Amino acid sequence: MGDSKCDLRPALPGLRQAGSNHESRFPRMTTETVILVHGLWVHGLVMELMRRRVARGGYRALTYSYPSMRLTLEENAERLERYCRRLAAQRVHFVGHSLGGLVVLRMLERAPGLTPGRVVLTGTPYGGSFAGRRLARLPMGRAALGRSMRLWLNPMHLPPAIARDIGVIAGSVPLGIGRVIAPDLPAPSDGVISVEETRVPGMRDHIVLDVNHSGMLVSSAVARQICCFLHDGKFEHRDER
């Protein structure tokens, strides 16, 4: 795409940042910031490779960590909102993986007046979680889902107040813990979330890539598509499988 940010070109000067919640290394306002939000059971460090690739697209990329097990979805959304309000940026984009995408959506629902920007959801089960419902039936299964996930096993409802471009990336390689918990997980899926569960009403674009749920975090194709959507508001569908 020529000199588009989709090319993941080398990072611009001053856009290097360690994987953390701290923005103190950026005292001056930059044009576009991307906040990457991880999923269940993990820490923001799992987003580090994706963060670096997004940063090479010319963005100030920050990873955001939150207690996915201990706090509810609403509490984590409130924390993310407070974090966003401290940032100095003209545009703030969001990239959420799995549960992280739900935290982002809930935060935007409660805070529609935040700095404008686009949203990319990767493997986010907006339409509920077939595998999660199966896990909840097992001994200790509901505890394993944590407080953020527990109340969200059924479909969410995106309010009209979220006036942002939303792009959705789904995976089609059915390798993951979801297939162990639910061998009859509807196909196609990324091994945890079915493609159908990722669809968001009103989304601007949707793409299915040849990747599994965890593999999204280390996929260069996923990172490239994230940058394409943040820059152009659409994906490059030649990568679709």
Locate the domains of the chain by residue range. Answer: 5-239
Backbone angles phi, psi at 32, to 5 degrees: -135, 125
pLDDT band at 9 (very low <50, low <70, confident <90, very high): very low
Which residue, among 104, 117, 194, has the nearest Cα to 148 in the 3D structure?
A: 104
Q: Which pair of tokens denotes residue 54? A: 């997004």
- CA nearest 130: which of 208, 169, 184? 184
Separation of first and last alpha carbons in the chain = 19
| Fold adopted by 5-239 | Rossmann fold (3.40.50)
pLDDT at 24: 40
Whether the CB-CB separation of 161 and 202 falls below 8 Å is answered with no
71-89 as b/e: b if 16+ CB within 10 A: bbbbbbbbbbeebbeebeb
Task: Record the tokens describing residue 15, joined without a space.
Answer: 């856009």
Question: Cβ neighbours of residue 20 under 8 Å, at least 6 residues apart?
Answer: 44, 62, 63, 65
- Six-digit token pair at 144? 């394993």
Kindly calculate the radius of gyration of the chain based on its CA atoms and give it in whole angstroms. 17
**Number of C-alpha atoms within 13 angstroms, CB side, residue 121?**
31
Asked if the model's pLDDT at residue 195 lies above 70, the reply is: yes
Average confidence (pLDDT) over 66-72: 91
Enumerate the β-bridge partners of residue 224.
none
Inform me whether the pLDDT recorded for 185 exceeds 60.
yes
Other CB atoms within a 10 A radius of the CB of residue 179 amount to 19
Give the pLDDT confidence of 78-130 residue by residue, as tens digits.
Answer: 999 999 999 988 899 999 999 999 999 999 988 888 999 999 999 999 988 88
CB 103 within 8 A of CB 77: yes
Q: Which whole number is the average pLDDT over 151-155? A: 63
Backbone angles phi, psi at 24, to 5 degrees: -65, -20
d(CA 223, CA 226): 5
**What's this model's pTM, rounded to 2 decimal places?**
0.86
**pLDDT of res. 152:** 59
What's the chain's average pLDDT?
84
Question: Is residue 154's pLDDT more than 80?
Answer: no
> What pLDDT sits at residue 69?
86
Instruction: Output 157 or 41, whichever has higher pLDDT.
Output: 41
Burial of 154 (0-12, 13-18, 19+ CB in 10 A): exposed
Task: Give the separation between CA 217 and CA 17, rounded to whole angstroms.
Answer: 18
**Cis-peptide into 188, omega within 30 deg:** yes
Q: Is the pLDDT of residue 20 over 70?
A: no
